[in-house]
Copies of this chain bind each other. A is one copy, B any other.
Amino acid sequence: MAKTLTKEKDLMGWLSQILIDAGIYDYRYPIKGCGIWLPYGFKIRENMLKIIRKHLDEKGHQEVLFPLLIPEYNLKKEAEHIAGFMSEVYWVTKGGDEELKVKHALRPTSETAIYPMYALWVRSHKDLPIKYYQVVNIFRYETKTTRPIIRVREVLTFKEAHTVHATKEEAEKQFKEAVEIYSKIFDELALPHLVLRRPDWDKFAGAVYTVAHDTIMPNGRRLQIGTVHYLGQNFSKAFDIKYLKPNGAHEYVYQLCYGISGRPVAAIVAIHSDERGLILPPNVAPIKAVIIPIYYKKEKEIVIKYCEKIKRTLEKNGITVETDYREEETPGSKFYYWEMKGVPIRIEIGIKEVKEKKATVQRRDTLTRVEVSWEELVSYIKKTLHNIQGNLKKRADEWMKSMIKETDSLEIARKEINNGYVIKTPWCGREECGKTIEEITDARVYGYKYGQEEAKGKCPICNQEASKIIYIGKTY
């Protein structure tokens, strides 16, 4: 890793570099905004997806896979939706040498790919609810500066759920469930988050309202990591998705969609790492512990043998372990390498450890080293992985809390936002005041807490009683 880049000075420069150095994501693809998930990163991504799928499947979601291409006439069916996406849609216009009669969009998101099929599949209320999701690539023709994983033209990892319900009540119940599922997912990913209802001028194009999970990056900018959209009947009316009620009448269905991209991986990297490199939460770490032998030539055989015994024992207990026996590298450079990769636990084995039947164990998060006896090793490693996971979450939660300041002075707000903080401030709830706040602070209104009233004070613009406390700050 180039030593000159630090996350404090240049977060995105540092991120691009460490993603390559750690073998996560290589952003040097010849098309702007496109990159490659490398083997180590692919496994982190898979571990994240395993957590996402577990929570969705537990709550009755089913995975499916829809086509990428969307005919222009379908993409344009819901007026607000297309208005929101039109400027960033990629268009396929040619097949071989032929001009296509109907242009195909690369899905920017899949509502308009999926809902024509829902119209075909939904006949009676017995077909409901539908709770499908898919994990796919999506595309945005981003004209602004792109950022590895965070702001790309091809989002290589997009989990999108699309649910269909007979009644408004059921849909609203599902909405709560979706928000809860996402909170659990981000908790397991050790990502601190705010659950915020977006202001109306920042909701998903075509939605009635949007609730987002936001995290804060080390430079104080918001990173949206999950969104849940209540679509009401907006799309079911546009796509004619209706069912026959027992009384013989037709009713349009109520719909939700909710998505998570690959961004949580970038957030994990950015939030938990230190000057030595990554610190991966054990829940997503591809390798939980690395064993490094330290020996003089003649001790080699006996030390390696002991390392192998530890490896087998840990693997038998379900712990993924790597050994680093490279001859051409010193123990020191191996320490450096695996610390940079963020492996949660390092096990050092020298002749002393072999003779005394123990191991020297270092935690990546606190860098503390202890000697552990052979008898206690497995339980110690298991417990320590658990503790690292918890410690990272707690540390990040506390850090995020320290990043949020409260004020009703927009002058102070603007200053503190420029200093890299997020601001809480009262708001009357009216759009014009909200947008004026954005102008004055040169920042964005993230929204107000979902499912939690905390309004007090007066709107700094109109001086009326606040109905909401809004979060404002910079964003990606």
Residues of A within 8 A of B (CB): 26, 28-31, 34-39, 42-43, 45-46, 62-69, 71, 74, 86-98, 104, 106, 116-117, 120, 132, 137, 141, 143, 154, 156-157
Contact = CB atoms under 8 A, between A and B. Distances in A.
A69 B141 contact: no
A14 B322 CA distance: 50
Contacts of A157: 65
Nearest to A97: B87
Contacts of A66: 29, 36
B92 A31 contact: no
A308 to B, nearest CB: 19
A87 B95 CA distance: 8
A65 B92 contact: no
A42 B65 contact: yes
A143 B95 CA distance: 9
Contacts of A43: 63
A94 B90 contact: yes
A269 B46 CA distance: 29
Nearest to A113: B29
Given A36-B66, A67-B34, A154-B67, A88 B96 contact: yes
Contacts of A93: 91-94
Given A29-B116, A38-B64, A42-B62, 16 more contacts: A29-B67, A31-B71, A31-B104, A39-B62, A42-B63, A42-B64, A42-B65, A65-B156, A69-B154, A86-B96, A89-B95, A90-B95, A91-B92, A91-B93, A92-B93, A93-B94
Nearest to A70: B31
Contacts of A26: 117
A120 B36 contact: no
22 contacts: A28-B117, A29-B67, A30-B71, A31-B69, A36-B65, A36-B66, A39-B63, A39-B64, A42-B64, A43-B63, A46-B63, A67-B156, A69-B154, A87-B96, A89-B95, A89-B96, A91-B94, A92-B106, A93-B93, A95-B143, A96-B143, A137-B137
B88 A95 contact: yes
How many monomers of this chain does the complex have?
2
Classify the secondary structure of A's interface with B: mixed
A49 B299 CA distance: 44
Contacts of A28: 117, 120
Nearest to A69: B31
Contacts of A74: 30
B95 A92 contact: no
Contacts of A88: 95-96
A36 B117 contact: yes
A19 to B, nearest CB: 14
Contact of A141 (B31, B39, B46, B96): B96
Contact of A92 (B37, B64, B71, B92): B92
A338 to B, nearest CB: 18
A273 B361 CA distance: 56
Nearest to A67: B34
A45 B63 CA distance: 11
Contacts of A141: 95-96, 98
A172 B104 CA distance: 41
A89 B98 CA distance: 10
A66 B62 CA distance: 26
A116 B30 contact: yes
Nearest to A156: B65
A463 B74 CA distance: 60
A169 to B, nearest CB: 25
Contacts of A35: 67
Contacts of A95: 88-91, 141, 143
A292 B474 CA distance: 58
Given A90-B95, A91-B93, A154 B34 contact: no
A262 to B, nearest CB: 10
Contacts of A62: 39, 42
A87 B62 CA distance: 37
Contacts of A104: 31, 90
